[in-house]
Structure 1
Amino acid sequence: MIGSPGSAGCALVPWPRMWQWVLAASLVAVITLTLPGRGQACPPRCECSAQLRSVSCQRRRLINIPEGIPTETQLLDLSKNRLRWVQAGDLAPYPRLEEVDLSENLIATLEPNAFATLQSLKVLKLRGNQLKLVPMGAFAKLGNLTSLDLSENKMVILLDYTFQDLRSLKHLEVGDNDLVYISHKAFSGLLGLEDLTIERCNLTSISGQTLSYLRSLVTLRLRHLSIIALEDQNFRKLSNLRGLDIDHWPYLEYISPVSFQGLDLHWLSITNTNITSVPSASFKNLVHLTHLNLSYNPISTLEPWAFKDLLRLKELIMVIAREGQPVSFLCRAEGEPAPAIVWISPQRRRITAKSSGRITVLPSGTLEIRYAQLTDSGTYICIASNAGGNDTYFATLTVRGQPLDAASAFFLNRSLYSGEFFNDTNLNSTRVYLKFTLDLTTILVSTAMGCITFLGVVLFCFLLLFVWSRGRGQRKNNFTVEYSFRKSEPVTGSSSGGTRKFNMKMI
């Protein structure tokens, strides 16, 4: 029976409508059961952390991105699996991802817009895959990406505009590839890149035009390359570059005098190359350089005053690795008469006698090191003083010995006062001149010591005056002098005897 609207009983709904409501309720229940709860769902064989919002599926032999990843995931680790490609929609269900690790898979293809839906992505790791080419648009819409690792792939060329959408990228690694060519506009769009590493490639040259787009670059590492020469102005537009590392270029024999023109480097490392002389002409404009490393190079001759333009140089590192070759460091100072030269060992002992040990001193003021062991490690100080002893110059040589190895590292540091340091290698007539200049710390310390001495003298004088003034009032200012006439002198009648007295006052 269907009750009337005005009846007191329960109103009955018509059958068609009732079935609609039941269907809607069932649909809602199905959706609720299908959607994973926050922080509770986790793909099979993966490890999830609701607190960190991370999912780790490392070493699971996956060939596809697993299902069931929570949509709020921010860190996704799919490294060391068997993924072969990344298509445009594979990561679309996870728009909150901030870090994706796809390292050590078998990925050979990146489709355009493969990560376009990941607007919050900051770190992307593609190291150790099979990528031979990165197409233009593969990193489209990744405006917040700050770190990208493409190392250990099989890329042969970097195309124009490969990274054009990565305006926030700060760290890029493209080393351990088969690169033979980097297109002139490959780095176009990298407005914020600060750190770039290119290593273990087949590059035979680096174009200044290619690097010219990296206006914000601070550190550049170029290692294990087959480049034979640094041409004119390779880095001419990198005005913000502060550190340059050139390491393991076995064919590098020539560095142009204007290779570093326009740079404001603070540290420079040129190691394990084939240069035979210090490129002193290239250092001419590096007035802010403080650290220079020229280790493991077959340097046989150095031009005089090779480092005279490096006014702020604090540390020069030259590691000698040739067995049995003595290295001599001559500390020289000029003047008339000739200044005295003394070497001080790390144990604060004077080295004056000639001996046949590992470290000897020659009459010319030369410290000769045949080989250094751990017991010889430390800082040796050369002190040059003039005949009057009122002017002194210091230079330090830090020796680090290595056990069971002929290699020894020598660090030449500026110290305390200005002076000159001369280095001579006996076997190949290698000579290095270093000019040491006063720094702000030395000036401040010297001024403080002078002020303290002056104030001490003044205080001592005031103390003497105070003592003298205190004792002055205790003495008598008047005294009586009594004397007698000689017998030969006549005595007047008005005299009252042979003795006379008078009073004197001391002022």
Structure 2
Amino acid sequence: MSEGSAVHQWLCWGALYLLAARVALSSETRRPCPQSCHCNSVLQEVNCSDGQLTTVPNSLPQNTKLLNLTHNKMKTLVHWQFQSLPQLLDLDLSDNIMALIEVEAFLGLERLITLRLARNHLKIIPVGVFAGLPELKLLDISSNEILVFLDFTFRDLTALQFFKAADNDLVFISHQAFTGLTSLQELHLDGCNLTAVPTEALTQLSGLRSLHFHQLGLATLQNYSFRQLEHLKELVITSWRWLETLSGNSLFGLNLTSLTIRHCNLRAVPYIPLHHLVYLVYLDLSFNPITDIHRNLLGELLRLQELHLVGGSLLRIEIGAFKGLAHFKLLNVSRNLLTTLEVGAFHSVDTLKTLGLDNNPLACDCRLLWAVPRRLYLDFRGNPPTCTTSDQLQGRYFLDFTESELPGLLTCRQPRILNRRPREVRVDQGHTVGVYCVAEGDPLPSVTWISPQLKPLSSIGRIRALSNGSLEVRYAQPQDSGAYLCVASNAAGNDSLPVSLHVRAFPLSSEKHFRLKGWFAFPSASPGLSGKQNIPFDVKTLMVAATIGFLSFFSSVSVCFIFMFFWSKSRGQIKHTATIAYVPRSAVSSSNGGKGNYMETSRFTMKLI
């Protein structure tokens, strides 16, 4: 045998030996797949779902990375339960009947990234349960029966980024419960029995970026509820069925880019709590009974791009409602009670890309004419607006109109004030007067009143404009006299009618008067109205008052004398004189200034009747 062939033979035998040794070694470390599970050696996955298991199987492959133990009957996890699975990355224990997890049950799973314990029967999580999970990124303990989070419950989860604790029976979260969650970015606290936002506990989450609250029974959001969460970008509040108001500083300290408050009981847009959110891009107030979006109150939301208010009670969006929103791109107000949406509501209609206006009782007239030329590039979200209040256009979509039809279809009629004869109203001082102003037009015009000082009159005050279009002046005063202007306006124009009001002052010269000068030092109660400092009295009234006063005084004195007479007669022997000693004030002063204590006294004698 040549030297070359010998070397070749030794190499072959060596290779066979090494192969046999590797096979023997791998057979020693490989474990059979448990009977109730399905193993995938390629994906290193073990699926034991629906296996009727009451405990975690012992003979799981050591190289398992994905372990599914859902839909079983496991009640307890004991200490070091998974110590034989050091490679495990994903563990799902959802949908069991888990009631107890012992301390350090997950110790040894140093590479675990996701842990799901949802839909079990856990009532409390002891401190130390999550020890030994330095790489855990996601924890889901939703739909359990947990009542309280104790201090330092999650202190070992320093790498945790996503935490879901929805649909528990939480009544209290201890102030230090979230201590240690320095990397947490998203937190879900939904469907709890909390009576207030756990403000103190949330202050431990300085890096939190997304916070979700669902189905809480709070009626108001208190001031400073989310203080020290300066990195929070998304706040989601949904299904707070009793939530009616947000306190003025409830969102103070936040720099949100996205805010959602859906399925609550807000009756107005929370303008004051929102005004400092200058970085807000997305706002969703859908499914709240909000009736109006008022003008000039959203302008501080400089970066707002999207507003969703679906399924509300919107009756009107006022002119200038979105003034200042230069980046406004999407408005979704579907399923409301709007009859129109005028172009004047927007800061710049050219920036608008998406408009949801369907399922509103729209009156297709000139107020919506601005939207028709933009129908080719304006996204109506697949549901173009429908005309519902016009008999001629009822049921037709905007996209159905042709260019030739538009001039005769989307029209308005300018307002006209009825009964235009010149008006001059006279009233005595102190009386109440009403002036009516009725107008017609299509759409129905709004009526406003302008004061003689050229200021619009509001619906409150002594001089006010009523909802039916009339002007009411209560307790008229001379200074109320002047020219008032009734203005009726709609999208097609306006009409006006001046009304002259004359208030006759109290007649001062028709009866005899005199003034009591020097008797009264107080000023007139209403110097702005009368400008007088003397108080007028009628002679007849003064004489009657003086007579009544004299008779009352005489009667009282007479009764006192009669009583004293009979009382003295009934006492028998009565001493008719009395001597009274007193010290004059001058004597007291001189005695105080002197060296002695002697004070001279004086006497006088009084004779009794």
Please give the TM-score of this superposition, normalised by the length of structure 2.
0.51
Number of matched pairs: 338
Structure with higher Rg: it is 2
CA distance in 2, matches of 1:227, 1:321: 20
> How far did 1:178 drift?
1.0
**Aligned-partner Cα distance in 2 for 1:120–1:345:** 47
Alignment correspondent of 1:117:
108
- Measure the CA separation in 1 of the matches of 2:218 and 2:126: 26
Structure number with the bigger relative contact order (C-alpha 8 A, sep ≥ 6) is: 1
RMSD, aligned CA? 3.5
Q: Does 1:360 align with 2:372?
A: no
Give runs of aligned pairs for residues 108-507 of structure 1, distance below 5 A: 108-320=99-311, 325-332=337-344, 359-363=362-366, 365=367, 398=380, 401=383
Partner letter of residue 188 of structure 1?
T
| Contact map agreement 1:278 1:306 (CA 8 A) in 2 | no
- Cα distance in 1 for partners of 2:373, 2:379 equals 6
* Structure 2 residue identity aligned to 1:55: V
Shift in Å at residue 302 of structure 1?
4.4
In structure 1, C-alpha distance between the alignment counterparts of 2:131 and 2:288, rounded to whole Å:
43
Separation in structure 2 between the aligned mates of residue 204 and residue 154 of structure 1, nearest angstrom: 17
SS at match of 1:198: strand
Tell me the residue number matched to 1:11.
none
Q: Is the 8 A contact 1:195 1:217 kept in 2?
A: yes
Say whether the 8 Å CA contact 1:212–1:238 is kept in structure 2.
yes
Structure 1 residues 242, 318: CA separation in 2 closer, same or farther (over 3 Å shift)?
A: same
- Give the unaligned 5+ runs of structure 1: 1-31, 335-340, 347-356, 369-378, 384-394, 407-425, 430-507
- Quick one: distance in 2 between partners of 1:84 and 1:34? 36
Deviation at 1:207, TM superposition (A): 2.6
Distance in 2, matches of 1:358 and 1:279, equals 25
- Once residues 369 and 146 of structure 2 are traced to their aligned partners in structure 1, the CA distance between those partners, rounded to angstroms, is 51
Q: Cα deviations across residues 471-494 of structure 1 (Å, max 9, x unaligned)? A: xxxxxxxxxxxxxxxxxxxxxxxx
Larger strand fraction of residues:
1
**Paired residues of 2:152 and 2:178 also in contact (CA < 8 A):** yes
Determine if contact 1:36/1:70 at 8 Å carries over to the other structure: no
Give the counterpart letter for 1:163 in structure 2: F
The alpha carbon displacement at 1:306 in A equals: 2.3
Q: What is the one-letter code of the residue matched to 1:72?
A: N
Q: Matched residues in 2 for 1:233 and 1:287: separation?
A: 18
Farther off after superposition, 211-220 or 79-88: 211-220
Aligned-pair CA distance for 1:333: 8.0
Name 1:460's counterpart in structure 2.
Answer: none
1:65 lines up with 2:56 in the alignment: yes
In structure 2, what is the equivalent of residue 87 of structure 1? 78
Aligned AA (1:128): R
1:215 Cα deviation from its structure 2 partner: 1.3
Gapped runs of 5+ residues in structure 2? 1-22, 314-334, 355-359, 389-442, 447-609
Do the aligned partners of 2:82 and 2:107 also contact (CA within 8 Å) in 1? no
Residue 100 of structure 1: SS of its match in structure 2? strand
Instruction: Give how far 1:271 is off.
Output: 0.9
Shift of 1:90: 1.9
Amino acid at match of 1:261: F
C-alpha contact 1:288 1:311 (8 A) present in aligned 2: yes
Alpha-carbon distance change, 106 to 213 in structure 1, aligned in 2, over 3 angstroms:
same
1:135 & 1:146 partners in 2: Cα distance?
Answer: 20
Tell me if structure 2 keeps the 8 A contact 1:380–1:398: no
Q: Tell me the alpha carbon deviations over residues 253-302 of structure 1, each in whole angstroms, 9 at most, x when there is no partner.
A: 11022122221211111111111111111112111111111111011344
Q: Name the CA shift for 1:345/1:35 in 2 (closer, same or farther; >3 Å).
A: closer
What is the deviation of 1:396? Answer: 7.1
C-alpha distance in structure 1 between counterparts of 2:161 and 2:95, whole Å: 23
Letter in 2 for 1:331: V
What is the alpha-carbon distance in structure 1 between the residues aligned to residue 372 and residue 253 of structure 2? 36
- Name the amino acid aligned to 2:269: V
CA distance in 1, matches of 2:230, 2:148: 26
Query: Are the counterparts in 2 of residues 139 and 166 from structure 1 also a CA contact under 8 Å?
Result: yes
What is the CA–CA distance in structure 1 between the aligned matches of 2:31 and 2:107, rounded to whole Å? 27
How far, CA to CA, are the matches of 2:64 and 2:345 in structure 1?
68
Aligned-partner Cα distance in 1 for 2:373–2:206:
42
Q: Which amino acid aligns with 2:270?
A: P
Against the structure 1 CA distance between its residues 277 and 324, is the aligned structure 2 distance closer, same or farther, given a 3 Å change threshold?
closer
Question: Any idea what SS the aligned residue of 2:310 has?
Answer: strand
Preserved contact between residue 208 and residue 232 of structure 2 (Cα < 8 Å): yes
Distance 1:101 1:198, change over 3 A: same
| Superposed displacement of residue 204, structure 1 | 2.1
